Amino acid sequence: MEISPFPFPYLQDDECSHFLGLFHDMDSSPSDFGFEGFGNDNTNPKKRPRKEDEDLAGEGGGGAVNGNNAAFGDILATLLLLDEEAKQKQEQWDFESIREKSLLEANHKKKVKTMDGYYNQLQNHYSAAGETDGTRPKRARKSAVAAAVSAVVSGEEATGAPVPAADIPSGSGSAPGHRRLWVKERTTDWWDRVSRPDFPEEEFRREFRMSRSTFNLICEELDATVTKKNTMLRDAIPAPKRIGVCVWRLATGAPLRHVSERFGLGISTCHKLVIEVCRAIYDVLMPRYLRWPSDSEIQSTKETFESVHKIPDVVGSIYTTHIPIIAPKVHVAAYFNKRHTERNQKTSYSITVQGVVNADGIFTDVCIGNPGSLTDDQILEKSSLSRQRAARGMLRDSWIVGNAGFPLTDWLLVPYARQNLTWTQHGFNENIGGIQTIATAAFERLKGRWACLQKRTEVKLQDLPYVLGACCVLHNICEMRKEEMTPELKFEVFDDVTVPENNLRSAVAVNKRDNISHNLLHRGLAGTRTL
């Protein structure tokens, strides 16, 4: 790129003469252009001096120009000095910052190294004590523990840092019952008093909903399953106490915090014990105490039902109840209980327990875990009673009595559900209602005896079937041993009955039911409503 030394590169010197003449005319006669007050005298400080004035300044004003140049040079020198001073201050600040940072890093590394050395020293000391603990005599082990504790305490005083209680050795050779330092102090006075043989029987029955002999029987049955071995760290919780935690929790429905206070155990430990013992009851005791009856037992049950309620070939009574739960995180709609929500005016979620009882109110079959949105007939279709026993012909020539919420099938006998019934049908419904009352009363005793079934439970859905199954097994044990219930434990069930749309599933069953109702009327065995 070419740069011109003059703003108008294409004009020659002679071509610029008219510019000079123009400027000369303007300076000589400013009034000709309409500017007044401008003359030969240069009175305006902003007016450019004339050429003659410039010549005069050139002759006698050179000293002023030189003075201005000197002042301008002084200003530039001052600015350079200030800039240099600022640069020096910045460099000094950066240097001090780097030095402080290096000192902090050095101190931190030194501190970490010291702490690592102290930690390694303690670890070596504990390792040496652990290796020799098994070979030393009892007195020597105690002295070693005391020395270790004193060493830790002295180290704490030297460093000023507290030592965690879990790092202090407990002394595995100490006497039994010695309270270790990492175990929180909790009182066990209540359980120690209850477990004594001289504890009042009535009070024991009120706490555990069973007599001491029944409780001891359960402990003997589960001893091999729930007993744990002692370890070097601590002694295992005895089997009776484990079972006591579970039974008391099921019986009272108390929060885990109260269970922890009663038995002197941690809250998480109590929750774990409840689930473990319920699983043991489900796996070990259910095959013995909750099973389908044998042929001889079925014949005896038929005779008992017929002698009392005049209906032949009845082997059991079926009923379905709902257990309230907290809204689950998945499949919420499946557990929504519409009927309970409408009755209680509060959103309700539930899980179902459908069971068959014999003439004594003892469960012979249970179906646990179906969502609360299902009806009685839908739960029945999913149960093993319908899919296995009935399908295999195990219920041939037998009746199971249900309420109007169940359909009429070849093996399930239900009352007449339509309106405008005849006397014969009314009498049949009254007789069959007496059988249905046995199942209802059994579930009332189940919920009354085990208060954990009366309110919403926080047990997880995957663990809840074991808890409900354990309650049914314990109910059977108490019923078999004739355990009485006090009046204050009475509980009334309010499960609604929904009549299925197709409640007549078998034409043969319809004829059989009509024959039974006519025989009751003609033999004079129908209910009092027909009189």
Q: Do 354 and 399 share a domain, yes or no?
A: yes
| CB 349, CB 336: distance < 8 Å | yes
Enclosing domain of residue 152: 112-169
Answer with the one of 266, 288, 310 that is the final residue of a domain.
Answer: 288
Flag whether 49 is in a domain.
no
Domain stops at, among 259, 288, 317: 288
pLDDT of 244-268, one tens digit each? 999 999 999 999 999 999 999 999 9
The tens digit of pLDDT for each residue in 252-311 reads 999 999 999 999 999 999 999 999 999 999 999 999 999 999 999 999 999 999 999 999
Q: Do residues 228 and 270 share a domain? A: yes
Indicate whether 45 belongs to any domain: no
Instruction: Assess if residue 358 is contained within a domain.
Output: yes
94: number of Cβ within 10 Å: 10
Q: Is residue 57, in this structure, part of any structural domain at all?
A: no
The verdict on 221 and 163 lying in the same domain is no
Q: Is residue 71 part of a domain?
A: no
Confirm whether 355 is domain-assigned: yes
Q: Are residues 268 and 414 in the same domain?
A: no
Looking at the fold, whether 386 and 406 belong to one and the same domain comes out as yes
Angstrom distance (rounded) from CA 359 to CA 380 = 21
Residue 214 sits in the same domain as residue 145: no
Q: What angle do CA 327, 328, 332 make, to 5 degrees?
A: 80
Assigned token pair, 168: 């202090």
Pair 124, 158 in one domain: yes
User: What confidence category does residue 143 fall into, taking pLDDT thresholds of 50, 70 and 90?
Assistant: low
Q: What is the pLDDT of residues 174-224, one digit of tens each?
A: 444 444 445 677 889 999 999 999 999 999 999 999 999 999 999 999 999
Give the chain's radius of gyration (CA, Å). 50
The reply to whether 433 and 321 lie within a common domain is yes
Residues 382, 274 share a domain:
no
Q: How many structural domains is the chain composed of?
A: 3
State whether 245 and 329 are in the same domain: no
User: Is residue 119 a part of any domain in this protein?
Assistant: yes
Within-domain flag for 208 = yes
Tell me the average pLDDT of the chain. Answer: 81
- DSSP class per residue in 404-473: TTS-B-SSEE----SSS--HHHHHHHHHHHHHHHHHHHHHHHHHHH-GGGSS-B-S-TTTHHHHHHHHHH
pLDDT digits (tens, 9 = 90+) for 319-331: 999 999 999 988 9
Alpha-carbon distance of 381 to 354, in angstroms, equals 11
**pLDDT score recorded for residue 154:** 52
d(CA 307, CA 263): 48
Does 283 share its domain with 301? no
Question: Does residue 214 sit in the same domain as residue 328?
Answer: no
Which residue did the predictor score with more confidence, 512 or 37?
Answer: 512
